[in-house]
Amino acid sequence: MNLELFEHTGPAGGVEPMGKQAFILRGGALAELPQLLHALAGVEAASPFRHMVTPGGRPMSVALTNCGEWGWVSDSRGYRYTRLDPMTGRTWPPMPDVFARLAAHAAAAAGFAGFVPDACLVNRYLPGSRLTLHQDRNEQDFGAPIVSVSLGIPAVFLFGGHQRGDRPARFPLFHGDVAVWGGADRLRYHGIMPLRDGHHPALGAQRINFTLRKAG
């Protein structure tokens, strides 16, 4: 058996509960990997990764882009969703069908039937990049779940509670993992520990995470 195929990846196929309505589907994106990477390259070509500035004036260590009808942005005025990419002045690139299809299937498997995302935030982490504890609350409808896909170097996901000060649990997220959360867990604080050095055969020295959302 070729262990190289597995050493960057968790055991595929398992469903790991993080909360009442939060799950990791281990390896849930691996079957669609070539299509996902091809679609990502198209998104990135139309709307490149960039480091946005927080309302506090600091550039984020994570670079981001978006696709779909709505894209998440941060600047000195705050966090919000926009229809236009402020870098290109054009609409965000369309949501690839393979993204929407994977999101709907994963959401249904986690108990959220009929999920139709209209926004996809793509985050790129290089070694040292991190995401401090935050809530995702710029979306209109907290009744819809969020689906996330992790690719590349593994990361440690911090899953907190409903107060910023609640001590977070830690879950590793590996290449190909899909996470789904909604309902009672939709507004929990969460973050990503500083990415460790590493190399992934398909993605090199980076981690890409994309989150599918209903923003509008």
Q: Taking the complex as a whole, how short is the minimal distance between the CB of residue 23 and Fe ion, in angstroms?
A: 16
Of the candidate residues 36, 95, 103, 192, the single one contacting ligand MD3 (CB under 6 A): 192
DSSP lists the bridge partners of residue 23 as 17, 180
Report, in Å, the least distance between residue 89 CB and Fe ion: 26
Closest approach of Cβ 190 to Fe ion, in Å? 6
Residue numbers 118-137 binding Fe ion by CB under 5 A: 136
- What is the footprint of ligand MD3 within residues 21-60 (CB under 6 A)? 22
- Minimum CB distance to ligand MD3, residue 57 (Å): 20
211 binds ligand MD3 (CB under 6 A): yes
Q: Closest approach of Cβ 121 to ligand MD3, in Å?
A: 5
Q: Is 121 in the site for ligand MD3 (CB under 6 A)?
A: yes
Q: How many CB atoms are located within 10 Å of the residue 4 CB?
A: 8
Window 157-186: residues binding ligand MD3 (CB under 6 A): 157, 159, 179, 181, 185
* Smaller CB separation from ligand MD3, 43 or 131: 131
Please report the DSSP string for the chain in residue order: --GGGTTTS--TT-EEEEETTEEEETTTTGGGHHHHHHHHHHHHHHS--B-PBPTTSPBPSSEEEEEESBEEEEETTEEEEESB-TTTSSBPPPPPHHHHHHHHHHHHHTT-TT----EEEEEEE-TT--EEEE----SS-TTS-EEEEEEES-EEEEE--SSTTSPPEEEEE-TT-EEEE-GGGTT--EEEPPPPP--BTTTBS-EEEEEEE---
The reply on whether position 148 binds ligand MD3 by CB under 6 A is yes
Binding site for ligand MD3 (CB under 6 A): 22, 121, 123, 131, 136, 148, 157, 159, 179, 181, 185, 188, 190, 192, 209, 211
Binding site for Fe ion (CB under 5 A): 136
